[in-house]
């Protein structure tokens, strides 16, 4: 299933390309949440963290669907990933925060396609597909929607945490492996690839492949990543032609 959001009042919600805040504008008063009305301790802690997270508040203020949007904004500030007119694929795009950022940054001449197993509400200026990106038909479908190969493939996907660090690392690396297998089929020469991994970064065969296939490979933890989170991102620049 594919849908394309209308132009609306602006791309991705109308925040205006690069002219917007990439860091929270400030913090309010700290909110404490009690374990009332059958709320568990863990759910109370999660709610309290959300209510006191400046990126959550800033995302609502700027119209982004998730705080994760700021991670991509900050990665783009550092690496200039989202160039005007670029063709971008967002893997595991739901709920759409990264897609919104991509649409804003590439501008009217760019193309952005988001794909996820989950449905995504329409985003002005983006093509959204509900399907498994590992489906054999996915690469050709996305290239048709982009009208050619991609300049950038993004993956902010993460498997559900098990609480066992080694298992979690293996699961998220498996997702990053799958994302890169897809990216190889759709990226143009000199393109770029960004994927979420965990502390320790891209390892083993994936790291070998990235260093072989790209001019530059970096690991980075953007400021919007929570300090208690093990997530980091691998950024691979310049597909070798």
Active-site residue set? 196
- 5 forms beta bridges with 124
Q: What is the DSSP letter of 131?
A: S
- The set of residues, in sequence order, having a beta carbon less than 8 Å from that of 125 and lying 6+ positions away, is 5, 7, 8, 11, 12, 103, 108, 112
E strand residue ranges, the chain: 2-4, 87-91, 111-116, 126-130, 150-155, 187-198, 214-220, 231-239
Tokens for 73?
């904004």
Cis ω before 140 (30° cut-off from 0)? no
Distance (Å, rounded) from C-alpha 145 to C-alpha 142?
5
E strand residue ranges, 120-230: 126-130, 150-155, 187-198, 214-220
Q: Measured on CA atoms in the order 215, 153, 158, 100, is the torsion positive or negative?
A: positive
Q: Give φ, ψ of 191 to 5 degrees.
A: -75, 180
């Amino acid at each position: 299933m594919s849908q394309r959001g209308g132009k609306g009042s602006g791309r991705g919600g109308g925040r205006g390309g690069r002219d917007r805040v990439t860091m929270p504008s400030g913090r309010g008063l700290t909110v404490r949440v009690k374990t009332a009305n059958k709320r568990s301790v863990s759910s109370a802690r999660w709610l309290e963290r959300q209510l006191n997270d400046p990126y959550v508040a800033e995302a609502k203020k700027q119209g982004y669907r998730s705080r994760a949007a700021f991670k991509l904004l900050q990665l783009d500030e550092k690496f200039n990933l989202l160039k005007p007119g670029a063709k971008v694929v967002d893997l595991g795009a739901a709920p759409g925060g990264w897609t919104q950022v991509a649409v804003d940054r590439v501008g009217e001449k760019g193309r952005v396609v988001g794909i996820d197993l989950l449905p995504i509400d329409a985003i002005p200026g983006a093509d959204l597909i509900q399907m498994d990106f590992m489906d054999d038909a996915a690469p050709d479908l996305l290239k048709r929607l982009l009208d050619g190969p991609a300049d950038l493939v993004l993956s902010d996907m993460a498997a559900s945490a098990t609480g066992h660090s080694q298992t979690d690392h293996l699961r998220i690396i498996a997702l990053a492996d799958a994302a890169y297998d897809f990216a190889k089929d759709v990226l143009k020469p000199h393109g770029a690839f960004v994927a979420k991994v965990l502390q320790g970064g891209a390892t083993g065969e994936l790291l070998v492949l990235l260093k072989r296939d790209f001019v530059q490979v970096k690991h980075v933890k953007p400021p919007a990543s929570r300090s208690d989170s093990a997530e980091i991102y691998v950024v691979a620049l310049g597909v070798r032609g």
